[in-house]
Amino acid sequence: MKLKYIIPSVLVIVAAGILAFNSYSNSPEYQDINTNSRKAVIASVMTNVIEHFHYSPKDINDAFSKKVFKKYITKLDGKKNFFFQSDIDYLKKYETLIDEELKGLEPLLFYKEADSIISVRIDTVETLYSDILSTPFSFTKEDSLQRDRGKLDFPKNKAERKSVWTELLKFRTMKKLLDLKKTRSKAVDTASIKSKSDEDLEAEARKDIKQSLDLYFDRMASHYNGDARFEEFLNTVTWLMDPHSNYFSPKSHRYFDEQMSGTFYGIGALLSQKDYYVKIESIVAGGPAWKQGELENGDLIMKVQNKGDSVIDMTGYTVQDAVKIIRGEKGAIIKLTVKHLDGTIETIPIERGEVKVDAVFAHSYIIDNDGKKIGFLVLPEFYFNPKQRTGPGSSAFDVEAEVKKLKAHHVDGIIMDLRFNGGGSLGDAIDMAGLFVGKGPIVQTRKKDGSKRVLRNRTSELTYSGPLAIMVNEYSASASEILSAAMQDYKRAVIIGSKRTFGKGTVQRMVPLIKFIPDRLRDEFGKLGALKLTIRKFYRVNGGSTQLRGVSSDVVLPDPYYKTAERESSSALPWDSISPADYQVWKNPVDVQYLAKKSQQRLADSRIFNQLKKNIEIIKNIDDETKVPLNIQEYKAMRDSNSHALKKMDKLDSVAAPLDMTNISKDTSAASSDSMMVARAEQMLEGYKTDPYLHEAVNVMEDMIKKQASSAMKKE
């Protein structure tokens, strides 16, 4: 039976709020589905779910098909280093057929053919770069390299592609050669590099570039198999709906859940990259590998075998890919073949156990500023406990514990750091807001049918009523924006940082695709992955959306981060507004205009922030240089000029005196059994002490404390 008569049967409806199949799913045609059509079924089911349940789905038609075609080609070869123009011309026969393929009306051929062609071209380039790098380069010609290859055409033939790669490899070799010359000029050991000629160094530079490319292509071969490219193809489709809808393969789905919870089942080791292999950087105290006792710091992971699976050669794997393989089912035995520092090779069986990523959890510090104690609470993510949403291991629970610890130290104010916090659990953001305003509406949502809902904090009691500031930047997104917006609308806190936050005002739900397969066929298909689908939009209690516009800071600081926010994405959903919720502003509203004025006065005279503004412009100008000379003297002059400009950038951490800042003693003692954890905690502390943004946040908090104290005295 032809595929196009099978896949349309995968239709879905909503029944009593539960996703389910309609009567077509019981069709006997399903008996003819086999594992060879598994990817086609995944694509069709995913497309159907998007059309029915996405908040604002694009029409999947010929126009959409053309966008998928263009975007996926860019994903495969955005720098135009592999495809020929004839390859693109050949694939264009699918340009208006991809929509039918996604719906199951045509066989899934575009992805397969594009995958096949790019694989052949990559194999050819592996031979090509080795050939080019076998001959010395001349760096005296007046030619140049366009680093933004996306602006150019695909090469028409082998000669043009060789020219592209020759320019690229010449540029990389030239950079490496200049580095080696610089090292030679400063070398003390005359018996080694100092005795080498320019020709020797040029040969060494080419050898180094070849080794790095060998590693890159090995990694690409291990990662970009058919399944990985299929996942990227489907994510091209989801991205064109909006930037936050994603398809996750079963392995990626598990990894996403682990990242969200901050807890996973693995061996308990910090990994790093070492040439062609993944290296054991350190063993986590108390973790499975620590208890097993045979794995050592510095071991190279050569092979991995999960129970019942074949042995995987880890040569060329990245840390992220290795993590996905090593993590897995709790209690399962995983065998690691490692090479010890002494050269011996050993296969070590380790039983997976629970491991917690300490860096994602809430932690706090005390800042002593001219006699005032200021609490500094850092929340890297809005994580949650999948087993017990409101208990230990959820970010709201942990933040409440940190707030209580700070109160026990009698702090005069609290600064909460949500910089680089991309969000996470909506429920935790709502509960967390309740710690600072008590019970009441925190955020609103709207579905695609226009129905609205006010989400309230109903459980968290008011825990802290003192001065509160929230630090944000352009990377603060989603749940970070919900909490910040609520505190701003209630006039409960001052928001400090970037002009605007990221602007992610949409709600996603994870939908396992296996739910849309009839029970009798689930064993045949196995896990199909999951779809993270945008189903609602967020709105502040004042009615405005956080989508696209984000949250505007009350106290704006010069922002070194640019072109990262939602507004930079062409597929982002638009901003809009709804009616406000019924809420009461804070009894002692923060005078943000006063605080902003005081901060502006400081910034105008601030050596740190004036230098920071200059630094930002220097970096932007350097980044804008897309065309570079391949004449070594001209390139050296350009690089020296840039280097001179960068050297003028004073080290900001040496301008101001470090803050008087300490870890809360209870946290320090808890980490004392793990030397690596202690070292990381100390490194983070030192970074915060000299952070110019935190310095200014402390100044703003001082102003707030004084202002509120003055207002209280006037009332008396």
Looking at the predicted structure, is the pLDDT value of residue 395 above 70? yes
CB proximity list for 702: less than 8 A, separation 6 or greater: 369, 370, 372
pLDDT of residue 430 exceeding 90, the answer is yes
Rounded distance between C-alpha atoms, residue 468 and residue 586, angstroms:
12
Q: CB–CB of 306/328 below 8 Å?
A: yes
Percent of the chain scored above 90 by pLDDT? 52
| Minimum mean pLDDT range among 130-134, 135-139, 170-174, 621-625 | 621-625
pLDDT of residue 11: 34
| CA pseudo-torsion sign 240, 241, 242, 245 | negative
Instruction: Measure the CA–CA gap between 225 and 232, rounded to whole angstroms.
Output: 11
* CB atoms near residue 117 (< 10 Å): 20
Q: Look at residue 651 in the predicted model and tell me its pLDDT.
A: 59
Q: Which of 72, 143, 237, 241 has the alpha carbon at shortest distance from 632?
A: 143
Judged by average pLDDT, the poorest of 141-145, 346-350, 693-697 is 141-145
Global pTM value? 0.78
Residue 379 tokens, joined = 């929340």
Q: Does position 650 have pLDDT exceeding 60, yes or no?
A: no
**Closest C-alpha among 7, 28, 10 to residue 19:** 10
Q: What is the pLDDT of residue 281?
A: 81
Task: Give, for 363, the enclosing helix (H) or strand (E).
Answer: strand 363-369
CA distance 413 to 632: 56
Q: Is residue 4 scored above 70 in pLDDT?
A: no
Taking 90 as the threshold, does the pLDDT of residue 330 lie above it?
no
Mean pLDDT of 561-569: 79
Among the listed residues 438, 459, 457, 433, the one whose alpha carbon sits nearest the alpha carbon of residue 379: 433
Using the structure block, give the residue that is written with the tokens 């006039």.
491
Beta strands (DSSP E) in 529-674 are 530-539, 555-556, 627-629, 661-663
DSSP character at residue 656 = S
What count of other Cβ atoms lies within 10 Å of the Cβ of residue 638? 15
User: Which candidate, 437, 221, 454, 194, places its Cα nearest to that of 318?
Assistant: 221
**pLDDT on residue 564:** 79
Q: Give yes or no for residue 480 having a pLDDT over 70.
A: yes
Asked which of 148-152, 344-348, 547-551, 690-694 is least confident by mean pLDDT, the reply is 148-152
Please state, for a pLDDT cut of 70, what percent of the chain lies above it.
83
Give the Cα separation of 333 and 267 in Å (integer): 10
Please state the rounded mean pLDDT for residues 318-332: 82
More confident of the two residues 4 and 449 = 449
pLDDT at 361 over 50: yes
Higher-confidence position of 483 and 624: 483
Type of residue at 333? I
Quick one: pLDDT at residue 28? Answer: 33
What is the rounded average pLDDT of the residues 255-275? 70
How high does pLDDT run on average in the chain? 84
Q: Is the pLDDT of residue 224 over 90?
A: no
pLDDT of residue 668: 46
The answer to whether residues 174 and 630 touch, using CB atoms and an 8 Å cutoff, is yes
pLDDT reading at 276 higher than 70: no
Instruction: Please spell the DSSP secondary structure of 91-149, one letter per residue.
Output: HGGGTTTHHHHHTTSS-S-HHHHHHHHHHHHHHHHHHHHHHHTTS-----S--EEES-G
pLDDT tens string 509-563: 989 998 888 877 777 666 788 999 999 999 999 999 999 999 999 999 988 755 7
Mean pLDDT calculated for residue range 418-445: 94
SS3 692: helix
Q: Does the pLDDT value for residue 712 go beyond 80? A: no
Mean pLDDT (whole number) for 587-601 = 96
| DSSP classification of residue 424 | B
628 pLDDT higher than 50: yes
Grade residue 633 by pLDDT with cuts at 50, 70 and 90.
very high
SS3 586: coil
pLDDT(385) > 70: yes
Pick the closest to residue 500 from 428, 556, 433, 461 (CA basis): 556
pLDDT given for residue 521 in this prediction: 73
Whether 614 has a pLDDT exceeding 60, the answer reads: yes
Instruction: Give the pLDDT confidence score for residue 64 in this predicted structure.
Output: 98
